[in-house]
Each structure stands twice: as C-alpha cells, then as structure tokens.
C-alpha cells in the first residue's frame, strides 16, 4: 500500500513539474480575452442600426452604402466563434473576414457622408464607433498576447508533456491582418471627423 501511495505522490509531483496546472489556466485566460473581443464586435454591431437610421433620416441618396453596411452587419452576425473553435484556423479566418467587411463598409459610409458631420446624432454615433474600433484593436492585442502565452506553454518542456498527454492541447489561432484589413501592407485610415 505504501508503494502505491508513493507512486501516486511521485506521479502528481511529476505532472505538477510538467506545468499541468498552467495549461488550463492559460487556455481559460485566452478564452476570456476572446470573450472581450466578441463583446467589442457586438458593441459595434449594436451601434450600426442607430447609425443607419440617422443617415436614412438625413437623405436617401446614398442608399447603396446603407445596404452594404446593413448586409455586412447581418453577415457578421451569422458567423459565431466559440472558445473551442479558436484552434481552427479556417473558422478564425472566416470570422476575421466578415468583421473586416464591417470595417470597410463603415469607412465607405464615413467617406460618403461628410456633410453629416454637422448633425449631432451622426457625430455622436461615429465617435462611439471610433472608440469601439479602438477597443477592438486593444481586445485583439490582449487576445493575441494570451494565445502566445498559451501556445508557448504547450510547446515548451516540461509543460508540453502534460499538454499532450493529459489535455491533448492544440495551439490556438491568433488574429492576423487580412487583405481587407490592409492595402499594400498599410492599415486603412478611418477618421470619423473627431480628431483635433
């Protein structure tokens, strides 16, 4: 009986030395950062109907752009990515693609409606969207930091042993710039007229 107890204690010590507890902790941290990313994208999606209503009230001459913004939002709301999907590069890429479509549509809207800057509701909504875009960038950066920490842990010795044997851990996919996010390697400039 003492021999079995010794084996159990030695096994627990060996697994503890393999970083067995840090793996789920870091995985959950990355999933929490992912929830922050989703929260910011949802905030943006919630602001868009109010913006569209404000623009419609100002005039219907640019109906085409309103349709694009609305369609981009609708498409983005159909693509959901859970914490468990973060190890699938194709699903992460699809999510990034539809979210980038919203950003592009909003940029077109801002460019098409310079005269709306004088209207209070439009200016307020665009300011909120600008702040949300900034929070999205920060949330994505924080998520990437958490993913990097997790991926490093599951790939380095001795934690890699516990990651493979106990959890079957797979690397999570970080955000990367998509072709819609950048043109010729330069991020698009989105200025909602609030810069001083």
Domain interval for residue 101: 17-167
| CA separation, residue 37 to residues 126, 127, 135, 182 (Å) | 20, 19, 9, 19
| Residue 186 domain flag | no
pLDDT confidence band for 34 (50 / 70 / 90):
very high
- Residue range 51-76, pLDDT digits in tens: 878 777 666 555 677 777 788 888 88
158: CATH: 1.20.1440.20
Burial of 128 (0-12, 13-18, 19+ CB in 10 A): middle
The answer as to whether 155 is a domain residue is yes
Spatial distance between the Cα atoms of 31 and 81, rounded to a whole number of angstroms: 11
**Residue 8: what pLDDT?**
47
Query: What mean pLDDT is predicted for residues 99-114?
Result: 78
Smallest CA-to-CA distance from 14 within 159, 180, 183, 194 is with: 159
Tokens of 174: 């970080």
Residue 39 lies in a domain: yes
% the chain with pLDDT above 90: 33
Residue 145 belongs to some domain of the structure? yes
State how many domains the chain has: 1
Confidence band of 184 (pLDDT split at 50, 70, 90): very low
Assess contact for 58 and 119: CB atoms under 8 A.
yes
Q: Is residue 160 part of a domain?
A: yes
Inside any domain, residue 178: no
**Mean pLDDT across the chain:** 78
pTM above 0.75, yes or no: no
Alpha helices in the chain (DSSP H): 2-17, 22-58, 63-78, 89-112, 120-155, 159-162
* 44 part of a folded domain: yes
Q: Would 86 be classed as within a structural domain?
A: yes
Question: How many other C-beta atoms are found inside a 10 Å radius of the C-beta of residue 73?
Answer: 22
Whether 186 shows a pLDDT value over 50: the answer reads no
> Which H or E run includes 82?
none
**CA 40 from centre of chain:** 8
Which two three-digit tokens encode residue 77?
């709301």
132 within 8 A of 167, measured Cβ to Cβ: no
Among left, alpha and beta (phi > 0; psi -120 to 50; other), residue 190 is beta
């Amino acid at each position: 009986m003492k021999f079995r107890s010794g084996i159990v204690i030695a096994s627990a010590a060996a697994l503890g030395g393999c970083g067995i507890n840090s793996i789920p902790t870091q995985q959950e941290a990355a999933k929490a950062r992912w929830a922050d990313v989703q929260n910011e994208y949802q905030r943006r999606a919630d602001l868009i109907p109010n913006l569209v209503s404000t623009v419609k009230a100002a005039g219907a001459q640019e109906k085409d752009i309103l349709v694009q913004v609305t369609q981009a939002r609708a498409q983005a709301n159909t693509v959901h990515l859970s914490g468990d999907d973060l190890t699938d590069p194709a699903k992460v890429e699809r999510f990034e693609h539809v979210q980038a479509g919203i950003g592009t549509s909003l940029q077109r809207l801002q460019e098409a409606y310079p005269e709306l800057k004088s209207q209070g509701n439009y200016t307020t909504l665009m300011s909120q969207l600008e702040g949300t875009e900034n929070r999205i960038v920060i949330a994505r950066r924080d998520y990437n930091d958490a993913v990097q920490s997790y991926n490093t842990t599951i790939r380095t010795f001795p934690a890699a042993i516990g990651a493979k044997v106990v959890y079957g851990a797979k690397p999570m996919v970080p955000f990367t710039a998509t072709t819609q996010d950048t043109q010729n390697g330069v991020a698009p400039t989105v200025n909602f007229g609030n810069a001083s």
